[in-house]
Structure 1
Amino acid sequence: MNATRGPAVDRSPSDWLRCPSCHTLVYRRRFERAHRVCPGCGAHTPLDAARRLDALLDPGSARPLTPTATVHDPLRFEDLQPYPDRLAAARAATGHEDAVRVALGTLAGHPVVLAVMDFAFMGGSLGVAAGEAIGTAADAALAGRVPLIVVTSSGGARMQEGALALMQMAKTSAAMAELDEAGLLTVTVVADPTYGGVAASFATLADVVVCEPGARMGFAGPRVIEQTIGERLPEGFQRAEFLLRHGLVDAVRPRGELRRTLAVLLAAARRPAEPDRPEATGPTRAAGVGDGAAARPEAGSVESVESVGPIGRPAHEVVAAARDPRRPTTRDHLAYWMDAFVELRGDRAGGDCPAIVGGLGLVEGRAMLVLGHQKGHTTADLVRANFAMASPAGYRKVVRLARLAEKIGVPLVTLIDTPGAHPGIEAEQQGQAGAIAGCLRVLAGLRVPVVAVVTGEGGSGGALALGVADRVLISANALYSVISPEGCAAILWKTREQSPAAARALGLDAGSLLELGVVDRVIAEPEGGAQADPPAASLALRDAVLETVAELASLDPAERVASRRRRFRAFGLPAASDAAGAGIGTGRVREDGDDYRDSDDYEEDSA
């Protein structure tokens, strides 16, 4: 038993108990080994704070923290019984002083501060003692420069403490803001239920919000909402799965997988970044990452960019190759690249766009935040991903994850493959133009290394939203253009049949883009293109990304930002060579580090 364990709670002597959800009999010891999750229906029954601390922290690592003493019964409150009597009963029943327990410890070897709410203590209500406990946890995380994990389960603010309880929402939110400013990762694990003042403060302010299956979270409870609006609520309203679909949380994880998920997040946020492997029993792959991709093979030899590429290839063939549905998607690349990965979803404003996929993970032991457009290999895949045409929610997700990369100091890698931003009515109503502009502004100012890779179709502003980077790489058979050839032909030639001519005129192939300085490096594809050998193509991209990130990581962050801004400031100016000398990439990088800036040099080496 760990030091976190409180006094033993009286239990039934029976070896069997009945699941409160499916009502089947469950062997008690099996139930407890599964952290009180029903093996039949999967229902997650309440877990007290002591068990929760034991389940998440490494054995023997917990060191309890005692919050500063707070006032008791500030209002001399009395309803059916005096408030002090309610407190005494809750303490006797749980063995806790209040609704939150805090401990320093390690999780999979990573130092962490863990604060756990216990619903059994007066419904996990947020009073002055609970608020001070969250503040104490944040202070400890700040002092130790370690992440903070909070497990929530609460009915809301504690009514018996009046306005002082209300003030705890501001206190805990301010504490989370300090951790933001310090660049420390914060994670909320939402247990059932999490309502009111807790949901409207520290619970939803964390960088990552993970829910247990079926957990409810919201500001007002469903009964209050139904009585207020006089309408029946939809099935599953405010449940974890509902919240995930609406972009309000990052993930839903069964209790047995929480420790593994948290270990990956902690490894990715570790400072300074070190090669690391979170605990695992075999090859790791985040749920939902692959599009049917095979297990990741060893990297094979890939022809150099000098021998493979679109140089001299008809532009309309480049367009066809870039759009080939067999090319690896972002999810495929994640499956091939990642040692471990946690997908992060949602814009936290009511939407989760399937056309943008992103998350935190480790690539060859290096922490990265990777995000990109998601297409698909079948019609059904494409429809589910909206043909990789992102909505405003998708671009808001990009901004949220980019800011997370900045906060915890990990490189950002973006994978571009889209025909363009979604042009629908709802997208315009929700501010599509402003959402794209927000991406451009945020990516331009990130202090962490930013690498963009055009892996397929780079269409218009919807692609550029992920393309403001220190270095822009492009696959040999990819394209990047201000408009689709068909759209250009329809507008300027007055017929879509002239799209091959438009493709030639637009200079959208990798060779033309390299000469313009729009991209910095062309990544070779296997014979027959990426679609002929997706694993080899993906691993070639991974190696180029790792090399580029390592190069950028050595630069001063302020100079990195200034150089990135100079790069884009110089596009279209006649003094391109002077701009290049100021640190702006205007051509492919040779193995010896010299830039290709002269078209004659480029043609000679290509030959």
Structure 2
Amino acid sequence: MTATAPREEQLWSRCTGCATLLYRKRLRRNLDVCPECGVHARLSAPDRVRQLADPGSFRPLPDSPADVDPIGFVDVVPYPHRITAARAGTGLAEAVLCGTATLGGHPAALAVMDFRFLGGSLGCAVGELITRAAERALDDRVPLVLVTASGGARMQEGVLSLMQMATVSQAIAALREVGLLTVSVLTDPTYGGVAASFATNTDVVLAESGARMGFAGPRVIRQVTGRALPEGFQTADFLLRHGQVDMVVPRRALRGRLVALLAAARAGRASATAPPRVPTAAARPVVPRQQTPPAAEADPAASTGADPWTTVRLARHPGRPTTLDYLDSAFDGFVEMHGDRLGGDCPAVVGGLARLDGRPVMVIGHQKGHTTAELVSRNFGMASPAGHRKALRLMRLAARLGLPVVTLVDTPGADPGVDAEEQGQAAAIAENILALTVLPTPVVTVITGEGGSGGALALAVADRVLMLEHAVYSVISPEGCAAILWPDRSAAPEAARALRLTAPDLHRLGVVDEIVPEPPGAAHGDPEAAARALGEAVRANLLPLLDMSAATLVRRRRQRFRRFGAARAGIRSGAR
């Protein structure tokens, strides 16, 4: 609906669907759904809570976000100024409203996102608040209901915003392990990192009528593929036809559906014997009290002094060793395994059994190529849903066989194509992230070239994350960031500096555990030396993990990712 006066002062609104002029009070009585054409207007988080929760039952969590700027990001407007403007414009402290409530008398924890606040983007504070809502659900033994509305991860917080996908997913996993229901309600729009994590890895996924959801947005897909999009692409009905949601629900029926789900879950828990606690995974992890070092603080790893844009270009060099190159040099006896067992074999992901110093391991990685023909045949290392599902199958096989997993990450991001969206790209990434948070075997990741967004994270929720000296790891490409926040893409070098995407930056932020040095001239100058360094680094980081029990591995992995929200979100806790 469109209008010029503040929403609460409007007498009339014009429907964005049919252009009918509607009396505001009538529209509100109809839950902001056009009575003429049925278009569902976007709701604020407070309005959504009022529609779903029993009157007077909502209690906000006693946690409030402080000012947070974890990487000192500046584009044409400093990030803190954007936060201040969003708070003034919405009346909210952040892009999510979290609390407890009853729906039809059934208690639940709620996390409701608000697209008005910086596009509902997922940053450290948002991830921390949603995680705390999930932890409150775990403490109270009640279901968790998530209402999503987001453009994706918040690029102004760099790769730390990407980490929130794993942080929230592992909180969802903890609820799943003790048999507590999790429900997500997709509203318009839900994209990017939110779609590829907690929006699609809950037990039940509802889509409000008219909602759109996907990993890549329509504009990006058109730009990358040059293809016209199918009719109704990424809409709720499209998602239902392609098996990506449980049901499509009009707004007027949404509360009733949620009440029915909560009632069923409550009755089921009351009649069943309570499952045993799983202390290694379901218990809330103890979060180390770490703080982000100031940007100016010296770091022993930051010795190259290379310009970030130069590093980006090195990471993309066509001569840079690929996963198959490393498997040929740093590992022995690689036996490739194909297929996702559902109908596809993505060439952008390779994986199989290999040996490292005689020890069997499962190695999975993105595969690009060196020539144009190789790059095209491997889709430039951009995995399809079949690639993510193949990786998931091999990870689970490794766990059953008691083998450690080594992942090699080198991708601009997940496949942004129409076919990938039809096949459930967001859910495939989300399932990998969720599975890795509970995988009971050691996982070591090496960022070997480009670590692009959720496509990279789908292989990088690990016990130890290593990074080659001239690799990059980012929530978005510098070109993409520049196109959104700067006047044009020519600002990509400036965006690369702002995103803090180099190995020294990420080591300083605690995202990367160790930087693997490259030979003079970078890895493509001496691939054999680069392979030796990679093999030695993987071996050194893997050996201590082999002596840990599965319970300890899962607990420590969760602690590792949990701190990316708690230590950097600046959340002030009130008394419970």
Q: TM-score, normalised by structure 1?
A: 0.44
Q: With CA pairs under 8 Å and 6+ residues apart, which has the higher RCO, 1 or 2?
A: 2
**Highest CA radius of gyration, 1 or 2?**
1
